[in-house]
C-alpha cells in the first residue's frame, strides 16, 4: 500500500495556492490543512477552500511535514516555533526568514529551505556538479533587471500585472531578494562574499560574467556567492567550477560544449517555485535529509540601507519591499550592531537617517517579537567566540 505523506502548509498566497494545486497531482501527497490569516469565508480565489484553517494547532495535528511559505519573517517565525515544539519537520520557501531567524531554528529541530527558489535550486545543482567531479568557485544567481530605488507607481503596475504583492515585486526589483538569496547560500555552504560584498557583476554574456567572478574567487582563495546581472540570460542559477581532473577531462568538456576551461559554467535555466517544492518534501519524509539552511553559526546577515532621507518618527510598516529601505548583505562581525531588515516591521525611526546609511539598533525602536529574540541569540552565539 502506498504511503501518503500528510502535508500541512502555512501561507495561502501565491506560493501556497500553487503548492496545493501541484501536490494534489501526486498520489503519495495529501495536503491536509492550509493555515491562513485571512477570513475563511472570503477566499473565493483559493482552489480548495475546505482545507483552510486559522489554527496552527489544527495544521500541526494533521501533518507529518509542514511547508512554511508566508514570506513573512515575524509571523513565520512564530508559526515555525510551534511546529518545532510539536517535533514536526519544517520545509521553508522563505529565504528572508532563513537568513533572519533560520539559524535559531537550525539549533532546535529539522528545518530546510526548499527547491524552487534560487537558493534551493543552487543547492540541488551543487549536489549534481560535485558528483561529476567539479570543484565550485562561484555559486551564482541570474538577475535580469535591477533598480535600487524604484518608484511606487512602477512597482504598483508590475504588482498588478504579475499578480504578486507590492512588497514582493519591490524586493525583487531593488536587489533585496537576490542579496537575501546569495546570503543564504554563503551561510549554507560556508562560502564567502567578496570584500566589496555581493557585486552583481553586469554582463550580457552569462559565461563572461561568471568567469570574471571565478577569477575573483581564485584571488580570494575561496568559493564565493554572487550573481550576474544580464537581461539576456535565463531566469535561473549557475555554478562556475574547475574540474578535479583538469587535464584528463579538458577535451571531453570542450566536446560537450562547456568551453575551453579552466572555468566551466553549469546552468540550471529555470526555477519553478512551488512546482519544485515536492522534491524537497520527498527528501524530508523519505530520507530525512536537509537540502540547505542558514546553519547554527552564520557569517553573513542582511542589513537595511536607507533608500532616501528618513525623518525621525517615521514608521516602517515592513522593511522588506518598502520604499524606505532595501536589504544589503554584510559580514556580521563587521557590523555587529546592524538591524536585520527582516526585523523591521512596525518599526519607528528614532533619529534621522541619510540616504545610503545602514540602520543599527541605535537608530530604530522595534516591538518585541520572537524573531527579535531569536536574532539576538544567533548574534550572541556568533560574536562571543570572536570576542566582539
Residues in the chain: 388
pLDDT at 3: 78
Give yes or no for residue 128 having a pLDDT over 60: yes
For 198, residues 6+ apart whose C-beta sits below 8 A from its C-beta are: 178, 179, 182, 183, 225, 226, 227, 329
Cell of 151: 518608484
Q: What integer pLDDT is reported at residue 387 of this predicted model?
A: 55
Which pLDDT belongs to residue 1? Answer: 63
Average pLDDT of the chain to the nearest whole number: 96
Give dist(CA 133, CA 99) in Å, integer: 29
Q: Residue 261 and residue 10: Cα distance in Å, rounded?
A: 45
339 pLDDT above the threshold of 80: yes
Q: What would the mean pLDDT of 31-55 be, rounded to a whole number?
A: 95
Residue 2 has pLDDT above 90, yes or no: no
Using DSSP, state whether 204 is helix, strand or coil.
coil
Per-residue pLDDT at 381: 86
| Residue 334 Cα distances to 179, 210, 223, 295, 346, angstroms | 17, 27, 20, 19, 26
- List of domains in the chain: 5-116+274-286 (3.40.50.720), 118-271 (no CATH), 300-383 (3.90.1210.10)
Strand partners, 92: 68, 113
Express each pLDDT in 159-197 by its tens digit. 999 989 999 999 999 999 999 999 999 999 999 999 999
Segment 48-67 mean pLDDT? 97
User: Model confidence at 386, in pLDDT bands (50, 70, 90)?
Assistant: low
CA angle 44, 50, 56 (to 5 degrees): 105
Task: Write down the pLDDT at residue 382.
Answer: 79
Overall average pLDDT of the 248-261 stretch: 94
Does 385 have pLDDT greater than 70?
no
Reported confidence tier of residue 388, pLDDT bands at 50, 70, 90: low
What confidence tier does 209 reach under pLDDT thresholds 50, 70, 90?
Answer: very high
Q: What are phi and psi of 229, to 5 degrees?
A: -95, 110
Amino acid at each position: 500500500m502506498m504511503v501518503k505523506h500528510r502535508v500541512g502548509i502555512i501561507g495561502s498566497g501565491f506560493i501556497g495556492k500553487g503548492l496545493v494545486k501541484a501536490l494534489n497531482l501526486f498520489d503519495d501527497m495529501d495536503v491536509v490543512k492550509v493555515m491562513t490569516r485571512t477570513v475563511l469565508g472570503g477566499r473565493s480565489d483559493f482552489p480548495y477552500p475546505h482545507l483552510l484553517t486559522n489554527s496552527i494547532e489544527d495544521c500541526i495535528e494533521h501533518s507529518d511535514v509542514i511547508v512554511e511559505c508566508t514570506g513573512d519573517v515575524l509571523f513565520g517565525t512564530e508559526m515555525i516555533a510551534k511546529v518545532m515544539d510539536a517535533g514536526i519537520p519544517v520545509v521553508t520557501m522563505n529565504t528572508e526568514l532563513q537568513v533572519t531567524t533560520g539559524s535559531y531554528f537550525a539549533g532546535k529541530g529539522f528545518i530546510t529551505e526548499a527547491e524552487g527558489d534560487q537558493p534551493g535550486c543552487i543547492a540541488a545543482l551543487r549536489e549534481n556538479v560535485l558528483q561529476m567531479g567539479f570543484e565550485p568557485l562561484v555559486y551564482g544567481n541570474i538577475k535580469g533587471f535591477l533598480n535600487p530605488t524604484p518608484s511606487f507607481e512602477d512597482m504598483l503596475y508590475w504588482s498588478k500585472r504579475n499578480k504578486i504583492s507590492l512588497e514582493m515585486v519591490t524586493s525583487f526589483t531593488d536587489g533585496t531578494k537576490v542579496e537575501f538569496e546569495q546570503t543564504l547560500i554563503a551561510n549554507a555552504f560556508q562560502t564567502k562574499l567578496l570584500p566589496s560584498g555581493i557585486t552583481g557583476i553586469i554582463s550580457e554574456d552569462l559565461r563572461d560574467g561568471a568567469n570574471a567572478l571565478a577569477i575573483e574567487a581564485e584571488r580570494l582563495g575561496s568559493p564565493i556567492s554572487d550573481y550576474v546581472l544580464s537581461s539576456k540570460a535565463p531566469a535561473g542559477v549557475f555554478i562556475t567550477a574547475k574540474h578535479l581532473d583538469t587535464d584528463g577531462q579538458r577535451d571531453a568538456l570542450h566536446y560537450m560544449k562547456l568551453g575551453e576551461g579552466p572555468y566551466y559554467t553549469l546552468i540550471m535555466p529555470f526555477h519553478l517555485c512551488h512546482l519544485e517544492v515536492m522534491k524537497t518534501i520527498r527528501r524530508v519524509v523519505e530520507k530525512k535529509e536537509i537540502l540547505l539552511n542558514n546553519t547554527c553559526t552564520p557569517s553573513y546577515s542582511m542589513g537595511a540601507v536607507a533608500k532616501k532621507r528618513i525623518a525621525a518618527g517615521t514608521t516602517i510598516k515592513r522593511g522588506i519591499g518598502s520604499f524606505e529601505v532595501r536589504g544589503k548583505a554584510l559580514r556580521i562581525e563587521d557590523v555587529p550592531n546592524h538591524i536585520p531588515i527582516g526585523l523591521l516591521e512596525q518599526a519607528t525611526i528614532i533619529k534621522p537617517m541619510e540616504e545610503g546609511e545602514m540602520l543599527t539598533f541605535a537608530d530604530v525602536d522595534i516591538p518585541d517579537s520572537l524573531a527579535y529574540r531569536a536574532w539576538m541569540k544567533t548574534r550572541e552565539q556568533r560574536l562571543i567566540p570572536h570576542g566582539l
